[in-house]
Structure 1
Amino acid sequence: MPEQAAEPRYRWVIVAAAAVMLAVTMGQLVSGLSVFFLPLEREFGWARGDIALINTAGLVGLAAGGILLGRAADRWGIRWICLAGGAVLGLCILAASQAEALWQLYLLFLVGGAFGGAAFFAPLLALVGNWFATGAGMALGIASAGQALGQGTIPVIAAVAIEAFGWRGALALLGAGTLALLLPLSLLARDPPPRTGGAGGGAAGLHGILPHRTVVIVLSAAVLCCCTLMAVPLMHLVPLMQDRALSASESAGVMFAILAAGILGRLVFGKLADMVGAIPAYMTASLWQTAMVFGFTQLDGLGSFYLYGLAYGFGYSGVMTGVLTTTTALTAPARRAGAMGIVTAFAFLAHGFGGFLGGRLYDITGGYTLAFAAAAAFGIANLAIVGGLYLHIRRGGTPVPA
């Protein structure tokens, strides 16, 4: 197996480095701001909705920058993209520690997402897939588990730092830590050696069945639906539980359990993709998420939320792994980072939309029943899109030039 003989050990260095870098970047840009709400509100008197837009700016930056930097990584290679991105993100977080106005935080997080975090997400996940001729699913599961771990641990680290040093000191510590970790780890990133056979990246037998543009369009439409669903419980499960007379700390504990179960789920669904194929694994996780999401509205009591949340978290987390493995399977290595950038851009935009939709439907109805029902409807649409893709491939779609 010549594909596996070329530097077989170094590919796991790539996976480990990617997992840590994704933990650092996504942990800060996706969920790290959550513990800064009260300190910023107390010092400046800003509304929480306005503070939340800092996080939105970072996600918009991730979405827009992912398209640009994914293509840049395909053209110029991964190492310089990561080095530049690590420097930008670290410096933006450091600068945020000195902010005096809300617009400054909007701008810094927008730039940090667009030219910092975006340099890592799509390019690194494409790189991991490119290093694995077989077994890419498990490798991608491990790398994406790093993201989940970061989303759970960065807020805890930031909370401890805020108590010790205040919010400015916490941001300064995070910025310095970002530079200290991302810059040396970026030096480990490099493209895999040329392969002597196969398509590489676990894509053998799939990429080329559909035109590259069609793959990107279909998967972008799918993630718009699945990530809109995903965002509703991620953003609104805590207030739903608080409406059921559970405390903030109890509700946060359930969310932490869901994210912890998600780490295991990403690994398992990555392995499942290696066993049964990327698209069937993606469909399984999507069905799991869709079938369970509305059930949160029928629960009452901390124990039931914990048990149900653990089961949901294990399955929902496989959706993102499924997106990554399916994109890897259906795209050629030379264009994979660009495809990842576009597809994940729609995923980040859908997360923003889903959180907004859930809140707006709550405002209209005074409850979360319609919001979670709408989430399930988006899940059904995702299943229809991915199911149609799977049927086309099973029927022997006509190969096209990659």
Structure 2
Amino acid sequence: MSRQMHYGWVIVAVAATMLALAMGQLVNGLSVFFVPLEREFGWSRGSVALINTAGLVGLALGGVAMGALADRTPIRSVCLAGGLAVGLCVTLAAGANQLWQFYLLFFLAGIFGAGLFAPLIAVVGSWFPAGAGLAIGLASAGQAVGQGGVPLAGAYMIEALGWRGAFLAEGVVSLALLVPLALLLKEPPRLAQPAAALTEAPPPISPNLVVAWLSVAVILCCACMSVPLVHLVPLIQAHCISAQDASIVLFVMLMAAILGRVAFGKLADIIGPVAAYLTASLWQTVAVFAFTQIEDLAGFYAFAPVYGFGYAGVMTGLLVTARALTPASRRAESMGVILAFAWLGHGLGGFQGGVLFDLTGGYTAGFATAALAGVVNVVLLGGLLLAVRRGRRAPQPA
């Protein structure tokens, strides 16, 4: 049995790597392609940002289906389909010439790539009945690596190969790595599941209410989060800083996010998942607008890791909260629904940042809107924390 449980850490490593590759491309990897596509085709910033939004809408819609499917289908099959779709769609983007082609390709990549998020997080949590916060934090840290590393690598590949060559390289690497990694995945030992079920405490509030509450909150949370993720590189470029240097700032921010995801996962094990989620959300909300007040590269380098460490706890907090407040029998499905709204929030935030840039000629309004969304999210999470604490104090039926 100990050998089987050791394989849980293999699952964590595989999940982290797959999330790095897939989510690094679908969540914010397109940010370094904004300026090259604008120069090549003359498209507006909002139109180009909508490519990223199309992928995130695909993630949202696919997340519901893939999450439900993962509760009934071997995890290996779901993730294999997701890895193939992401790699093929990004490869085909190298030959696209029309906006609708980019929209369609990234929408399809998102729909099937959704099988690489909620199902992976759910299976990681299933392998660790105790201490799931740390395991999920480590797995989701892979996404932070990808969200920093993929744009950084993309910027250098664009410089060396052009934007078409960069898309081609990313697609080929995705196929070469995601497919064999998917074959390593498997569900936890069946013998461990009854014991886990016996020790699982009844949820303090209705799981349906939890899904609805978190779904509303996460739209606003991710609308706040996505603006710097998608627009930080072009914001820095507007100060006459190169795309490579701007991408390094994003990379530094997301390397700090690795520590933040693990730290907030451990914090969730100590103070509770909702409290950890609220703490990270407050950190993100207070800090996000400060990016518009920085004008030099040194300032961006100094502030990026401060923001990155705190903002990173948001996704870990959400995932651990969803796991703690939903029953195991429908956990992947519940996560799929909640994450659908998360991706819609990501798409909304990234799109509004581009549209307000086109309307105002700068990013001040877009980042201010992000901060406002963060404030409402903090209020909602505060209400959820109070509801959970009241539910735990209430007498439980025999």
Alignment partner, residue 13 of structure 2: 16
Structure 1 position 334 matched with structure 2 position 329: yes
The equivalent of 2:256 in structure 1 is 261
Superimposed CA distance per residue, residues 208-242 of structure 1 (whole angstroms, 9 cap, x where no aligned partner) = 32222211101111111211121233344455556
Q: Counterparts of 1:162 and 1:303 in 2: how far apart (Å)?
A: 24
Point out the more displaced range, 360-369 or 287-296: 360-369
Q: Is the 8 A contact 1:288 1:316 kept in 2?
A: yes
Q: Do the aligned partners of residues 280 and 303 (structure 1) sit closer, same or farther apart at CA in structure 2, a change above 3 Å counting?
A: same
Match of 1:24, as an amino acid? L
Aligned residue identity for 1:131: W
Q: Quick one: distance in 1 between partners of 2:234 and 2:167?
A: 27
Answer yes or no: is 1:121 the counterpart of 2:117: yes
8 Å Cα contact 2:149-2:251 kept in structure 1: no
Partners of 1:172 and 1:400 lie apart in 2 by: 57
Q: Of residues 13, 16, 24 in structure 2, which corresponds to 1:27?
A: 24
Aligned to 1:196: 194
Opposite residue 197 of structure 1, the aligned amino acid is A
| 1:134 alignment partner, SS class | coil
Residues in 2 aligned to 1:344 and 1:289: alpha-carbon distance in whole angstroms = 19
2:269 counterpart of 1:278: no
Note the C-alpha offset of 1:330: 0.9
- Residue 374 of structure 1 pairs with residue 372 of structure 2: no
Structure 1 residue 103 displacement after superposition: 2.4
Deviations 1:48-70 (A, max 9, x none): 54333322221111111111111
Q: Contact between 2:49 and 2:350, CA under 8 Å: does it hold in 1? A: no
The correspondence of residues 283-362 of structure 1 with structure 2, limited to 5 A, is 283-361=278-356
Separation in 2, partners of 1:90, 1:250: 27
| Preserved contact between residue 87 and residue 172 of structure 2 (Cα < 8 Å) | yes
Match of 1:178 in 2: 174
Instruction: Give the Cα–Cα distance (whole angstroms) in 1 for the partners of residues 356 and 69 of structure 2.
Output: 39
- TM-score of the superposition, structure 2-length normalised? 0.88
Query: Which of 78, 81, 84 matches 2:81?
Result: 84
Partner SS state of residue 71, structure 2 = helix
Shift of the alpha carbon at 1:180?
1.8
**TM-score normalised to structure 1 length:** 0.88
Which one of 226, 229, 233 corresponds to residue 224 of structure 2? 229
* Match 1:392 to one of 387, 390, 394: 387
Q: Give the Cα–Cα distance (whole angstroms) in 1 for the partners of residues 139 and 28 of structure 2.
A: 18
- Residues 289-335 of structure 1 show CA distances to partners (whole Å, capped at 9, x for unaligned) of 12222334444544333323221111011011100110111112221
Contact kept? 1:288, 1:315, Cα under 8 Å? yes
Distance in 1 separating the partners of 2:359 and 2:45:
20
- The residue aligned with 2:51 is 54
- In structure 2, the gaps of 5 or more residues are none
Distance 1:163 1:354, change over 3 A: closer
Q: Per-residue deviation at 1:93?
A: 2.5
Residue 163 of structure 1 deviates from its aligned partner by 4.5
SS at match of 2:126: helix
Report how many aligned residue pairs link the two structures: 394
SS in 1 for 2:72: helix
- What does residue 96 of structure 1 align with? 93
Give me the whole-angstrom Cα distance separating, in 2, the residues matched to 1:160 and 1:216. 41
d(CA) in 2 for partners of 1:342, 1:101: 31
Identity %: 57
* Paired residue type of 2:82: G
For the 8 Å contact 2:148–2:250, the answer to whether it is kept is: no
Seen in structure 2, the aligned counterparts of structure 1 residues 385 and 153 have a Cα distance that, compared at 3 Å, is same
Change (3 A) 1:197 1:56: same
Question: How far apart, CA to CA, are the structure 2 residues paired with 1:242 and 1:153?
Answer: 18
Q: Distance in 2 between matches of 1:64 and 1:400?
A: 36
